[in-house]
Chains A and B, each alone.
Chain A
């Protein structure tokens, strides 16, 4: 059975439960996803489906992909993603899958690309403490010593240093589905998910 879908991050808000409890939620626009390709053990040696999401201009699609979409019987799609399934029964090419795949109470993993923060120092990137801001101190957020002297005479592998931060694939695991609205293609999950507003996310049942 298919367990995942492609979606888009809409933003965060909060929901009131009836006892007055407040739940922070991320609103995700999920699906409808089109099945573009079904992979079977007979042909590809494993079972999976390739889903497509979001519209794309036909003039922007290259020829090989145009043929791929034609075979899948769908208009050009912006995002393609493969999901492994145990069994491809009940899944056909061209089929549309909507947000009602998920139910309230389900746990889902949400994968997305985190916000790119560029080249970042150690205070922001690795939560180093940094130096004092005042009292004559002149090193405010330098990393400090990065190792000992003649022994070992090199920097230890994996030493936390400044560098590119963010813009990497990250997964928020076991988020609770708080609400599903198939009429608007919306899934509301508790808590934050990686990425900026408008970013593409992949939802998968935990």
Chain B
């Protein structure tokens, strides 16, 4: 292993739960307001995961007051306090962009059957 990989490895987070596209997650984001630091929760459906190593990221979509909001998080970012896996969804694509065109009942994702 070369020095570049070592530097990348020591920064990577090992505390991330395993999740994939279609899963519902709560991302707890550290937010600094002046001196104070608080946690903001962003809950939604994982649209995709991309990249590997230090550059990996994932996109979470939620519908807030009727408006779709998507936020991209670097997987290893220190601003993420922790990620809770809420439900595992059963989807057949790795990137579920079709969800953007759907509203209401149609936008539901079936829960994966536990094995």
Which A residues have a C-beta under 8 Å from some C-beta of B? 10-16, 18-20, 22, 27, 29, 184, 186, 188
Closest to B11 in A: A16
Q: Are B74 and A11 in contact (CB under 8 A)?
A: no
Known: A27-B3, A186-B3. A13 touches B78 (CB 8 A): no
Known: A13-B54, A19-B32. A27 touches B4 (CB 8 A): yes
Verify if B94 is at the interface (C-beta below 8 Å from A): no
Q: Are B11 and A15 in contact (CB under 8 A)?
A: yes
Complex Cα spacing A20 to B78, Å: 6
Q: Which residues of chain A are within 8 angstroms of B2 by Cβ–Cβ distance?
A: 10-11
Verify if B72 is at the interface (C-beta below 8 Å from A): no
Complex Cα spacing A188 to B74, Å: 21
Complex Cα spacing A18 to B74, Å: 13
Closest to B8 in A: A13
Nearest CB on A from B12, distance (A): 10
Q: Which residues of chain A are within 8 angstroms of B4 by Cβ–Cβ distance?
A: 10-13, 27
Q: Are A14 and B54 in contact (CB under 8 A)?
A: yes
Q: Which residues of chain B are within 8 angstroms of A15 by Cβ–Cβ distance?
A: 7, 11
Closest to B29 in A: A20
Q: Which chain B residues in 26-44 approach chain A with CB under 8 Å?
A: 30, 32
- Pick the contact of A20: B3, B7, B11, B77 (CB < 8 A): B77
Apart from A14-B8, A186-B7: 17 A-B pairs, beta carbons within 8 A:
A10-B3, A10-B4, A13-B4, A13-B8, A13-B54, A15-B11, A16-B11, A16-B74, A16-B76, A16-B78, A18-B78, A20-B74, A20-B79, A27-B3, A27-B7, A184-B3, A188-B7
Q: Are A29 and B3 in contact (CB under 8 A)?
A: yes
